Amino acid sequence: MQATHLATALCLTLSCASLAPVQAAQPGLWDTYAELKTKRWVDLTTRL
């Protein structure tokens, strides 16, 4: 399960640049994405 989350977080991070148009069109969606990414980063760093 954790590996899936890690892969998902990595994919989201790599696709950050391609999400720039989405940020302009859907600010709320971008905020949610950023919040999830931050939470995931905290989860990963606290597990190290």
Non-local (6+) Cβ contacts of 29 within 8 A are 22
- Does pLDDT of 45 surpass 60? yes
Alpha carbon of residue 10 to chain centroid: 8
Position 32, amino acid: T
Predicted confidence (pLDDT) per residue in 18-40, tens digit: 656 655 666 676 677 778 888 87
Q: What is the mean pLDDT of the chain?
A: 68
Lowest average pLDDT, out of 1-10, 13-22, 30-39, goes to 13-22
User: In terms of residue numbers, what domain contains 43?
Assistant: 2-47
What token pair was written down for 46?
């606290």
The total domain count for the chain is 1
